[in-house]
Chains A and B, each alone.
Chain A
Amino acid sequence: NAGVTQTPKFQVLKTGQSMTLQCAQDMNHNSMYWYRQDPGMGLRLIYYSASEGTTDKGEVPNGYNVSRLNKREFSLRLESAAPSQTSVYFCASSPVQGEVVNEKLFFGSGTQLSVL
């Protein structure tokens, strides 16, 4: 079972460059999420998609855009990368639509992004 797959696993960007982090799940889950993890801080929610065709801002959405391409895929785009976006990014999915039972989050293995 692949579960939640994130690509790439590692990426180095220069300030101002753009890139898209890809996430796909094969569990037919309704909801998908993007988190970032920074040293000394917990995971913080960037954006989420409660169902196909909808997206909403989380705690730290500035500098990011997302696309829920279909039920399987949820991408995160950095239009103009900044050093403050150096972080580890996690994608997650959940089978519950709308009101989410928090414990049913399934995470990918993360993307380590460095912006120079």
Chain B
Amino acid sequence: GDSVTQMEGPVTLSEEAFLTINCTYTATGYPSLFWYVQYPGEGLQLLLKATKADDKGSNKGFEATYRKETTSFHLEKGSVQVSDSAVYFCALGGTGTASKLTFGTGTRLQVTL
């Protein structure tokens, strides 16, 4: 079945450091790929998405490229801020119901001054 594997956290970085959170997936067909973010005390919210191979999703300085050849969707940001401290979830899904939305385990990011 479909699955998503994320790197274990927590990830601790200094402000302005480069961020990479790895995400790989296993799926049949050509799923859409997503990154959700959960800030402290809040619900998950969509950060970015990519719907086909080689698409790059971007938002708030974060980017992720849909790599079909490596089945990956790594999240990157060139210069993190303290306000980026949150839990990041990689997810995959098709165009069907949300029952087919598969989440990774989440990676906690802590950014310090």
Query: What residues of B have a CB within 8 angstroms of the CB of A107 in the complex?
Result: 36, 38, 43-45
What's the count of A-B pairs with C-beta under 8 Å? 72
Is the CB–CB distance between B104 and A102 below 8 Å? no
- Report A72-116 residues with CB < 8 Å from chain B CB: 90, 92, 94, 99-110
Query: What residues of A have a CB within 8 angstroms of the CB of B97 in the complex?
Result: 48, 50, 99-100
Q: How many residues of A contact B (CB 8 A)?
A: 31
The distance in angstroms between the C-alpha atoms of A44 and B89, with both chains bound, is 13
Query: What residues of A have a CB within 8 angstroms of the CB of B45 in the complex?
Result: 106-107
In order of increasing CB-CB distance, the 5 nearest A-B pairs are: A107-B43, A42-B103, A102-B93, A107-B44, A43-B103
Chain A residues proximal to chain B, CB less than 8 Å: 3-4, 31, 33, 37, 40-45, 48, 50, 56, 58-59, 90, 92, 94, 99-110
Chain B residues proximal to chain A, CB less than 8 Å: 4, 32, 34, 36, 38, 41-46, 49, 89, 91, 93-106
Besides A42-B102, A48-B97, A59-B99, 14 more A-B contacts (Cβ < 8 Å) are A3-B43, A41-B105, A58-B99, A90-B44, A92-B44, A100-B97, A101-B95, A104-B46, A105-B44, A107-B36, A107-B38, A107-B43, A109-B41, A109-B42
